[in-house]
Structure 1
Amino acid sequence: MKNTPPLQRDPAFRAAFQAHELENRVSTGKVAALLVAVLMPFGATLDWAVYPERLAFFGWIRLGSSVLACGIWYLLTRPWGIRHHRGLGFATAWLPAICICWMIYDREGPASPYYAGLNLILLAISLVVRWNAVESAIAVGGVILFYLATCMLHGPWDRLDGRFAANCIFMVETGIIVVVGNHFFNRLRQRDFATRYELAQRKQELEAALTRLREAEAQLVQQEKMASLGVLSAGIIHEINNPLNFATTNLFALRKKVAALPAAEQAEIDEILDDIEDGLVRVKNIVSDLRLFTHPDSGDLESVDLGEAVQAALRYLSGETPDSVQLEVRVPPGLAVRANRNKLVHVLINLVENSLDALRRKSFQGETPRIRITAGTEKDRVRLEVWDNGPGIAPEHQARVFDPFFTTKDVGEGMGLGLSICYRLMQECQGSIRVQSEPGRYCQFTLEFPTPSSQPDLQPGTHA
């Protein structure tokens, strides 16, 4: 074992190699069985040339061997045969050897030229099947013993002359070559498999590393977008807030003035004022959303019970959730993350609201609208998934859903800041958010947080 390479001592590698060898052994065993089934009857042409008087008898022997070989092939296609492939392999090698020895016994014994057929079997053991040295030695030894027993039973002993000795020596030498060749060929196969196995492992590692790099690149690009938006938003908020306050104050004063007008005129003006107030409220909401980008460090991080945060978000949306929507929540009790509770609830509300909007846009036939919220741990990360069976997101839009002001909704239904805010809030919690969707079937947002124990302690006023 000291000279065994470390990889070949790895249990995973050994299991993979054994599975690979089993597949090859069964495959080559089938080939060997088919060769016996075809070549044994074909040998009748040799019988016609050498022993025409025994053509019929030898023909029955060859036909029986061929039928048995077909049976072995069939067994190798079944689970039982695969489990006993080694024994069936020996049977495949010894079946034609027994038939040839029978013919040798029936004719001249050691003087029969059919001894050459046994060398063909030894050649097949070397070239066709995938055996190790021990298995090859057993198969070769069996063939040689059959020949020795046949010649001794045929007798007389005085006919076991130099030709018999030469035949035995040639068969033994051929057998040694077969065993040694299979031994080194088996080692070569193992090295080749080890090389391919190691390359496959390296490929998987490189693909995983490339995936992580692409995700990191996407995160960095998104962070740059958020930083640029934050700088822009700070100026916009300052410029909008002052005239917005003036307009709100004057609207209040205007409503007081309208109260003194006749009732008929009040109804028409109140409708106009309501429209103005709706517009101002909408502007205030946009400013409020933009403010989240300009104050990324507000709010301390703490250990937050994920189940409680999910329930708080669902309670907030209880009035907006139709009875037709099936809500499934599977969050392990006591599962905690390091986050700001209010911001986490804000993210969950936003994602569930998006799911509800998506379900309203899909026509369900024979399927129940569903939203599923699940959570669990993976190593030092906590994963929360919000899934719905709505219309999903088109592939060309998935890379942009976290961009500020990107939306596929109609005008007036949203500014396209919701998911951008979710992205920013997850960054503040040292977490991440990503989307996975199949148009027409589902959409899933995955939030990942470090567990509280895996994050460094944060002092008050210090945030991720």
Structure 2
Amino acid sequence: MLRRVVHRYTNYEAELREFRLASSKAGALTAVVLVMAGVLLDYGIYPQEQLRFFLARSFIALLIGGIYALLPTPFGRRHVQPLTLAWLILPQMMIAWMIGVTEGASSIYYAGLNLVIFAVGIALPMGLWQTIGFGAVTYLFYVIACLAHPLGLADRGHFIVNSIFIAFSITASAVYTFMNERGHFHLFRLKEQLAEKNLELAEINRNLAEIKGQMLQQEKMAAIGTLAAGLLHEVNNPVNFCLMAIEVAMEEPVAKANASLEECLVDAKQGMQRIQHIVSDLKTFAYRKPGAEAEGVPFLFEKALDSSCRLTAHELRGVALTRELPADTLVLGDEAAIIGVLINLFSNAALAMRKAQTTKPAIHTSAYWEDGRLHVSVRDNGPGIAPENLARVFEPFFTTREVGQGLGLGLSISYAVIERHRGTLYAESELGQWTAFTFDLPRAE
């Protein structure tokens, strides 16, 4: 709270300095014009003093002009108020001298002193005590001018009346200054409050946008869940028939005697199971709960890697596959789901490298154990991912593929699968060089 008050006060002082600078410049120009326009008064009242007064007025106008030129400089900005008081005092000194060389206490020029005092209180943003001090100095000049006149204070009546009027002017100017200060501060407070309200409104708008995005996302997930439920019902029956047929075929002596045929049947069985798990994962993703663990069994990650390579063999034609795995890759989890993650990563890498026409495309899979978890990395030498897209690759429905080539759900579902295994799937990339996806799986005890 104290920091906010200090910051607000600092802002107010900065704004007040700029306001004082602008007012002082405008006032100085006005003073130059009025000082020189007083030549008409000299001609009408004291024509015999016209030349001497003209020279005095010209000299004072030049001094005020010099201060005006100094105000916009760094020095002038730092000392706006002292310089303003300096050019204000110059006309008062000139008027006091004119009073002394003309009629003393009864000189009509005392009105000029009042005019400047009023200008300080009304037109210039001076401080209260500065205004009072300026009025006191002005009255001192008037007293000295009267005493310097040959007749001195012989005309006491005019001296007393003029002194009272100057005192009235000082009082009125002080009141004006006080009210101006309060009004300017209140105006600044209103501007600050308006700025704060605008910030609050912007924050509310951002929150509303986030809520709207979350609602749209929930609607998308609900649609996916409905679609997945229908797919489960419509697809599971024929898939089960196929699985039963494959199981029967695998028991045939011919299949058992032919290793190649038996491997094809195993791949077909895994493919059918993959279809079941894809629909199941889609439904799980739509209604997933953050932090939910995967209920799984021990399996060899190396075996899952082999299966995923076989199932994506048609997409990986021409791509060099290498691996670097530890001797023990026994992990705990959902083997079919992890195969799905690997298939998605391999398919995305192959598509990106084929689209970019990568020379000698390659995918390297490596793994190592750390803190009881197997950390897996799938890295390709493809075109990489643009930095603005890297943070969005796991967003549902985000895809850089052409329309009709993908829904943008593969990496989102993969992220959810790894999340259920209490791990994290994250992406790294260097544009034009490589892309790597890394995730971790728990060790099977």
Q: Under a length normalisation based on structure 1, what TM-score does the superposition of the two structures give?
A: 0.58
Give how far 1:134 is off: 0.8
**Equivalence for 1:207:** 202
Could you report, residue by residue, the CA deviation over 1:111-170 in whole angstroms, capped at 9, with x for unpaired residues?
321111111101111211112321110111121111111211223335342112211111
Q: Distance between the aligned counterparts of 1:428 and 1:52, measured in 2?
A: 102
Is 1:83 paired with 2:78? yes
Is 1:93 paired with 2:88? yes
Is 1:163 paired with 2:158? yes
Counterpart of 1:127 (choices 114, 122, 130) is: 122
Q: Which moved more, 1:279-288 or 1:82-91?
A: 279-288
Instruction: Report the secondary structure of 2:408's partner residue.
Output: coil
Instruction: Report the secondary structure of 1:157's partner residue.
Output: coil
Is 1:227 paired with 2:227? no
Give how far 1:106 is off: 2.6
**Equivalence for 1:417:** 409
Counterpart of 2:149 (choices 135, 150, 154) is: 154
**Equivalence for 1:23:** 18
Is 1:142 paired with 2:134? no
Q: Which structure 2 residues correspond to residues 318-397 of structure 1 after superposition, within 5 A?
A: 388=386
Counterpart of 1:12 (choices 7, 11, 19) is: 7
Question: 2:42, 2:50 within 8 Å by CA — same for their partners in 1?
Answer: yes
Counterpart of 1:197 (choices 189, 192, 205) is: 192
Letter of the structure 2 residue corresponding to residue 207 of structure 1:
A
Question: In structure 2, do the counterparts of structure 1 residues 158 and 92 end up closer, same or farther at CA, with 3 Å as the change threshold?
Answer: closer
Give how far 1:21 is off: 1.7
Question: 1:41, 1:63 within 8 Å by CA — same for their partners in 2?
Answer: yes
Question: In structure 2, do the counterparts of structure 1 residues 108 and 194 end up closer, same or farther at CA, with 3 Å as the change threshold?
Answer: same
Instruction: Report the secondary structure of 2:406's partner residue.
Output: coil
Q: Distance between the aligned counterparts of 1:119 and 1:23, measured in 2?
A: 27
Question: In structure 2, do the counterparts of structure 1 residues 391 and 202 end up closer, same or farther at CA, with 3 Å as the change threshold?
Answer: closer
Question: 2:147, 2:153 within 8 Å by CA — same for their partners in 1?
Answer: no
Could you report, residue by residue, the CA deviation over 1:327-355 in whole angstroms, capped at 9, with x for unpaired residues?
xxxxxxxxxxxxxxx99xx8xx98xx89x
Letter of the structure 1 residue corresponding to residue 402 of structure 2:
D
Give how far 1:23 is off: 1.9
Give how far 1:298 is off: 8.3
Is 1:290 paired with 2:285? no
Letter of the structure 1 residue corresponding to residue 168 of structure 2:
E
Instruction: Report the secondary structure of 1:415's partner residue.
Output: coil
**Equivalence for 1:3:** none
Q: Distance between the aligned counterparts of 2:419 and 2:186, measured in 1?
A: 47
Counterpart of 2:51 (choices 41, 45, 56) is: 56
Letter of the structure 1 residue corresponding to residue 176 of structure 2:
G
Is 1:44 paired with 2:39? yes
Letter of the structure 2 residue corresponding to residue 140 of structure 1:
G
Give how far 1:88 is off: 0.9
Question: In structure 2, do the counterparts of structure 1 residues 294 and 387 end up closer, same or farther at CA, with 3 Å as the change threshold?
Answer: closer
Q: Distance between the aligned counterparts of 2:128 and 2:92, measured in 1?
A: 20
- Which has more radius of gyration? 2
Letter of the structure 1 residue corresponding to residue 64 of structure 2:
A
Q: Distance between the aligned counterparts of 2:290 and 2:132, measured in 1?
A: 78
Give how far 1:56 is off: 2.4
Could you report, residue by residue, the CA deviation over 1:223-262 in whole angstroms, capped at 9, with x for unpaired residues?
23212312322332453466568789999x9xx99xx9xx
**Which 5+ residue runs of structure 1 have no aligned equivalent?**
1-5, 261-275, 303-319, 321-341, 362-385, 430-464
Q: Distance between the aligned counterparts of 2:101 and 2:273, measured in 1?
A: 109
Give how far 1:99 is off: 1.6
Give how far 1:89 is off: 1.7
Number of aligned residue pairs = 327
Q: Distance between the aligned counterparts of 1:59 and 1:218, measured in 2?
A: 76
Letter of the structure 2 residue corresponding to residue 80 of structure 1:
F
Instruction: Report the secondary structure of 1:226's partner residue.
Output: helix
**Which 5+ residue runs of structure 2 have no aligned equivalent?**
259-267, 295-315, 317-336, 357-383, 422-445
Q: Distance between the aligned counterparts of 2:418 and 2:14, measured in 1?
A: 45
Question: In structure 2, do the counterparts of structure 1 residues 181 and 127 end up closer, same or farther at CA, with 3 Å as the change threshold?
Answer: closer
Q: Distance between the aligned counterparts of 1:144 and 1:80, measured in 2?
A: 30
**Equivalence for 2:432:** none
Give how far 1:424 is off: 6.9
Q: Distance between the aligned counterparts of 2:228 and 2:203, measured in 1?
A: 37
Give how far 1:217 is off: 2.7
Instruction: Report the secondary structure of 2:56's partner residue.
Output: helix
Q: Distance between the aligned counterparts of 2:208 and 2:178, measured in 1?
A: 45
Question: In structure 2, do the counterparts of structure 1 residues 131 and 388 end up closer, same or farther at CA, with 3 Å as the change threshold?
Answer: farther
Give how far 1:176 is off: 1.0
Give how far 1:198 is off: 2.5
Question: In structure 2, do the counterparts of structure 1 residues 49 and 228 end up closer, same or farther at CA, with 3 Å as the change threshold?
Answer: same
Query: Share of identical aligned residues, percent?
Result: 33
Could you report, residue by residue, the CA deviation over 1:82-119 in whole angstroms, capped at 9, with x for unpaired residues?
11111012112111111222222232222321111111
Could you report, residue by residue, the CA deviation over 1:352-403 in whole angstroms, capped at 9, with x for unpaired residues?
x89x969x88xxxxxxxxxxxxxxxxxxxxxxxx99456999xxxx9xx956
Question: In structure 2, do the counterparts of structure 1 residues 392 and 57 end up closer, same or farther at CA, with 3 Å as the change threshold?
Answer: farther
Letter of the structure 2 residue corresponding to residue 410 of structure 1:
E
Give how far 1:81 is off: 0.9
Could you report, residue by residue, the CA deviation over 1:422-450 in whole angstroms, capped at 9, with x for unpaired residues?
89789999xxxxxxxxxxxxxxxxxxxxx
